[in-house]
């Protein structure tokens, strides 16, 4: 049997595990800092959904661009952005990726082709479609991955974007992270039809739905999407069944779902536990190797916490900078 | 054809007479020749040659990759334009009229205007949103609204609204070259009007943020922008016959507003009348009144006075529409009031 594109070496498998664990540990600490009053405002944690972004990013190339909404810390870490910069942005410090002026929902990196971090539900989808237009216009071979949740999937501008992306055969992958709840409203109460991926049919956009807690499955689906888009056939929609363990944001106690439901996912479908079992079994990874990784990640996250506490608040003069680009 | 009083025209290579429509087209075409990342998108801009024929001939010259017909989907294509600008292109997004930009205002305000700040200076958005703004003729309430005040409210946006063809060309070119999001407000009724002030020099641009003295005078300052500059000049000419020498300032840029030119003028004339087509409440005239009160209060010999559209949705009936919009007579009456010559 021919080797699948998505088959990976032990080193790669460990790297994916490392990335997922980094996101989880980072988010757990962010939650703690929020509780301590060091992070304020809106803070949407990605815990439970780690496999989606790590799986997708693993099949992209350096020239591809990424955009998402406000549950974005995991995407930034998966894009290789500095954990110190992300955490210090959460605490509103000078060393934050947006110099403390963006916050949890607004971080960007031109270097890593990460275009935010957007707080208006669904707005990132036309923006990502525009990034895809730029890839096509510049003939740079890149594509854009535009992430959204099940909640954003009911916004009208998503379908306006689908129409143009299909009409112009733009290189864009729309990734729907269906975590079952748009804030406190379950998909059953917000949406007609069983699926979101199939909503591209009216615009001739192919799509598929896959388990969003299994990194291997996600990688295979993502590779199909990338192959489709890179061949010039236009957009592709991926929907992943996933789950967020925490509330919508830090102020959400999550009374709209039962403890049993949440525990059931944690015990049976946790993306990190599932992948761990897989690499222990299939890659001869040892518990010692994983312990070493745990230690390494703990150090990175603790560093970011320390940095986010010690980095100074922005200088008051920063209030008036970056409003307009000064013309030459 | 409207003759203009221009200060620096003698220095320019060649000045021709063109309609505003032609001048805007030339501005876009020249910038697209000079910079391959500039492109035009909007409803009917390509095969139809523009709903108001502003993009006449551009599809033929630049092809469908750079002159892009969009579906009727303002919210979506404004967002696509902003995303393309994030991606390094310089889109010109045409709204068939600015009334429809309300569908897209979230992308203009939340995505285009704020992202530079929210990214700590990383993510500029070099984009121009342009199209006809304000009242046309007999098109009713939903198609007759001035958005100058709306967009001028937003830090992170520049807002331009010229009157003459020459200024329209030079400022649209400046807007396209500007690394920031620019809202460029045109006027449908001016599209077909010829002006004798259009430079053919592709390098001629005007600075954004600088008003011009359209008519020098000593007795009273009148500020206006877009089509209202024409009304203000007409009023000034009639006032001159009655011995009142009015100075007319064409604001050209609404944000950043050139308050210095306004203040300098008021320090000379000691009186000011602001003219604008849009509603008075929280309008451009309100901002000018505040600026003059703050910076030239001691120079005023009369209250700052506003001439604005009536505070009502635009009616359809011809007589009511005329009543709703500022007329030359309204400007004359306001000027006489501040000169105590009523």
Predicted complex ipTM: 0.95
pLDDT bin (cut points 50, 70, 90) of residue A113 is: very high
Residue B259: Cβ within 10 Å count: 18
Q: How close A138 gets to chain B, by Cα (Å)? A: 8
Query: Is pLDDT of B5 > 80?
Result: no
- Please determine, for residue B8, whether its predicted confidence score (pLDDT) is greater than 80: no
Contact B76 A67 (CB under 8 A): no
Is residue A324 situated within a structural domain? no
Which residues lie across from B249 on neighbouring strands? Answer: B213, B223
* A117 cis-preceded (ω within 30 degrees of 0): yes
pLDDT at A1: 46
| Chain A residues 160-189 with a CB less than 8 Å from chain B | 160-161, 163-164, 167-168
Question: In angstroms, what separates the C-alpha of B332 from chain A's closest C-alpha?
Answer: 39
**Angle ∠(B328,B329,B331) on CA atoms, nearest 5:** 65
Confidence grade of residue B245 (pLDDT, cut at 50, 70, 90): very high
Question: In sequence order, what DSSP letters do the residues of A199-265 get, joined into one string?
Answer: GGGGGT--EEEEESS-HHHHHHHHHHHHHHHHTT---EEEEEE---SS-SSTT---TTS-HHHHHHH
Report how many domains make up chain A.
Answer: 1
pLDDT-based confidence at B9, cuts 50/70/90? low
In a domain, A19, yes or no: yes
Structure tokens given for B189: 């009724």
- How far apart CA A81 and CA A77 sit, in angstroms, is 5
**The pair of three-digit structure tokens given for residue B103, joined into one six-digit string:** 């569908």
Residue A104: the pLDDT is 96
Residue matched to tokens 């998505």: A6
Answer whether A127 touches B (CB < 8 Å).
Answer: yes
Strands B253-255 and B158-160, sheet pairing: antiparallel
Please check whether residue A128 touches B, CB under 8 A. Answer: yes
pLDDT averaged over chain B? 96
Q: How far apart are CA A132 and CA B59, in angstroms?
A: 22
Among B57, B54, B33, residue whose Cα is nearest residue B43: B54
Which tokens hold the place of B286?
Answer: 């309100």
Burial class of A112 by CB neighbour count within 10 A (0 to 12, 13 to 18, 19+): middle
Q: Which amino acids of B are annotated catalytic?
A: 74, 143
Q: Look at residue B130 and give its three-state secondary structure.
A: strand
| 3 state DSSP class of B36 | coil
* Omega before residue B256 within 30° of 0, cis: yes
Distances (CA, A) of A104 to A99, A117, A145, A195, B110: 12, 8, 20, 29, 16
Q: Is residue A328 part of a domain?
A: no
CATH code of the domain covering residue A185: 3.40.50.970
Inspect the interface and report whether the beta carbons of A125 and B124 lie closer than 8 Å: no
Asked, for residue A5, whether it belongs to a domain, the answer is no
Residue A326 in this model has a pLDDT that exceeds 90? no
Residues B265, B268, B270, B275, Cα dihedral to 10°: -20
Q: Is B214 helix (H, G, I), strand (E, B) or coil?
A: strand
Q: Work out the minimum CA distance from B74 to partner chain A, whole angstroms.
A: 9
Of A99, A160, A324, the CB nearest to B73: A160
| pLDDT tens figures, B147-166 | 999 999 999 999 999 999 99
Interchain pair B118, A109: CB under 8 A: no
Do A322 and B77 count as a contact with CB atoms less than 8 A apart? no
- A320 located within any domain: no
Q: How many residues does chain B have?
A: 342
How many C-alpha atoms does B229 have within 13 Å on its Cβ side? 26
Q: In whole angstroms, what is the distance from residue A95 CA to residue A73 CA?
A: 16
Dihedral sign from CA coordinates of B191, B197, B200, B206: negative
pLDDT in tens, B279-314: 999 999 999 999 999 999 999 999 999 999 999 999
Q: Where does B125-226 have alpha helices with state H?
A: 148-152, 165-177
The region that residue B338 occupies, defined by phi over 0 for left and psi between -120 and 50 for alpha, beta otherwise, is: alpha
C-alpha dist (Å) from residue B62 to A165, B58, B146, B279, B314: 21, 6, 31, 39, 38
Q: Is residue A321 a part of any domain in this protein?
A: no
Cβ-defined contact of B83 to A128 (cutoff 8 Å): yes
Across the interface, do A127 and B111 touch by the CB < 8 Å criterion?
A: yes
A321 touches chain B (CB under 8 A): yes
Residue A162 belongs to what domain range? Answer: 10-306
């Amino acid at each position: 049997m021919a080797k699948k594109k998505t088959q990976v070496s032990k080193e790669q498998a460990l790297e994916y595990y490392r990335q997922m664990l980094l996101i989880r540990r980072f988010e757990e600490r962010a939650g703690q800092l929020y509780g301590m009053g060091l992070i304020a405002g809106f803070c949407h944690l990605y815990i439970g959904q780690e496999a989606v972004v790590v799986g997708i990013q693993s099949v992209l190339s350096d020239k591809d661009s990424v955009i998402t909404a406000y549950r974005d810390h995991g995407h930034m870490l998966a894009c290789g952005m500095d954990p110190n910069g992300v955490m210090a942005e959460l605490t509103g410090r000078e060393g934050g990726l947006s110099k403390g002026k963006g916050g949890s929902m607004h971080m960007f990196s031109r270097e890593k082709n990460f275009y935010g971090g957007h707080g208006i539900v669904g707005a990132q989808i036309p923006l990502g479609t525009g990034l895809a237009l730029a890839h096509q216009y510049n003939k740079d071979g890149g594509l854009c991955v535009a992430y959204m949740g099940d909640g954003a999937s009911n916004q009208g501008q998503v379908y306006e974007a689908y129409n143009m992306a299909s009409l112009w055969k733009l290189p864009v992958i729309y990734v729907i992270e269906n975590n079952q709840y748009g804030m406190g409203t379950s998909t059953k109460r917000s949406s007609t039809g069983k699926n979101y991926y199939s909503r591209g049919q009216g615009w001739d956009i192919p799509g598929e739905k896959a388990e969003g807690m299994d990194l291997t499955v996600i990688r295979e689906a993502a590779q199909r999407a990338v192959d489709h888009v890179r061949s010039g056939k236009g957009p592709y929609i991926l929907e992943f069944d996933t789950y967020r363990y925490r509330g919508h944001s830090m102020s959400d106690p999550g009374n709209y779902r039962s403890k049993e439901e949440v525990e059931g996912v944690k015990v049976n479908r946790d993306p990190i536990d599932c992948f761990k079992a897989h690499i222990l079994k299939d890659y001869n990874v040892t518990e010692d190797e994983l312990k070493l990784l745990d230690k390494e990640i703990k150090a990175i996250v603790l560093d970011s916490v320390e940095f986010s506490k010690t980095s100074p608040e922005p200088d008051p003069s920063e209030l008036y900078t970056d409003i307009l680009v000064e013309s030459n | 054809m409207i003759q203009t009083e221009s200060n620096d025209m003698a220095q320019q290579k060649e000045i021709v007479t063109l309609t505003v429509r032609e001048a805007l087209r030339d501005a876009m075409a020249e910038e697209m020749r000079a910079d391959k990342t500039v492109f035009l998108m909007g409803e009917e801009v390509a095969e139809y040659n523009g709903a108001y024929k502003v993009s006449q001939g551009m599809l033929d010259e630049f092809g469908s990759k750079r002159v892009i017909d969009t579906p009727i989907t303002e919210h979506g294509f404004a967002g696509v334009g902003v995303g393309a600008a994030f991606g390094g292109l310089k889109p010109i997004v045409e709204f068939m009229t600015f009334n429809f930009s309300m569908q897209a205002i979230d992308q203009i305000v939340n995505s285009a205007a704020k992202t530079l700040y929210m990214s700590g200076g990383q993510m500029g958005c070099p984009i121009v949103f342009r199209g006809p703004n304000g009242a046309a003729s007999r098109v009713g309430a939903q198609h007759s609204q001035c958005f100058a005040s709306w967009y001028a409210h937003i830090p992170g946006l520049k807002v331009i609204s010229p009157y003459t063809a020459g200024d329209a060309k030079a400022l649209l070119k400046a807007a396209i070259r500007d690394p920031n999001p620019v809202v460029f407000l045109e006027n449908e009724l001016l599209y077909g009007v010829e002006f004798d002030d259009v430079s053919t020099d592709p390098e001629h641009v005007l600075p954004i943020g600088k008003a011009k003295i359209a008519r020098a005078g000593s007795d009273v300052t009148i500020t206006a922008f877009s089509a209202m500059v024409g009304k203000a000049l007409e009023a000034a000419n009639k006032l001159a016959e009655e011995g009142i020498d009015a100075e007319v300032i064409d604001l050209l840029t609404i944000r950043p507003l050139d308050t210095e030119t306004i203040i300098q003028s008021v320090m000379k004339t000691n009186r000011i009348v602001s003219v604008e087509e849009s509603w008075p409440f929280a309008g451009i005239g309100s901002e000018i009144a505040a600026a003059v009160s703050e910076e030239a209060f001691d120079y005023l010999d009369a209250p700052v006075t506003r001439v604005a559209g009536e505070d009502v949705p635009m009616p359809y009936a011809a007589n009511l529409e005329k009543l709703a919009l500022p007329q030359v007579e309204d400007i004359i009456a306001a000027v006489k009031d501040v000169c105590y010559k009523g």
